[in-house]
Amino acid sequence: MHCPFCKHNDTRVLDSRVAEDGTSIRRRRLCPACERRFTTLEQMQLVVVKRSGAVEPFSREKVIAGVAKACKGRPVTEGDLALLGQQVEEALRAAGLAEIPAHDVGVAVLGPLSQLDPVAYLRFASVYKQYNCVEDFEAEISQLRAQTVAVG
């Protein structure tokens, strides 16, 4: 690790701690050349493999933006969306894979979204699952009703 101040190519770790959310490690470092201290954050990087084969870093913000479109006009708060984004990221990290197919990201969204707002879920699912006719909506609504009866 290069020192951000003097660019010395070797630094010493003084302290390492797991962050509160458990997904990263905070390291306090000291540069032996300039004796300045700084903090680094080490985090496992998740990447999403798109259908085209392109790879891009996972973005919780991108997930939230996509879900926000489905939630437009619904009684869903920014806090609800942030929690959903966190749940999706935690589910993907729990899978233990560094490369996640884009399809799996959509699957990870569907569960929490169906609990958050059934109408937003139908909107998202209609695009994600590529509904082609009214019968596709009817089948999805029947499944939602069955889940509601099973839970309630």
Report CA-CA distances (Å) from 140 to 48, 76, 79, 105, 145: 27, 21, 27, 19, 9
Residue reference for tokens 């499944």: 143
pLDDT tens sequence across 36-83: 999 999 987 899 999 999 999 999 999 999 999 999 999 999 999 999
- Predicted confidence (pLDDT) at residue 118 exceeds the cutoff of 80: yes
pLDDT (average), residues 7-21: 91
Q: The tokens of 48 are what? A: 């999403």
Query: Binning pLDDT at 50, 70 and 90, where does residue 20 land?
Result: confident
Please report which helix (H) or strand (E) contains residue 113, including its range.
helix 102-116
The predicted model scores a pTM of 0.72
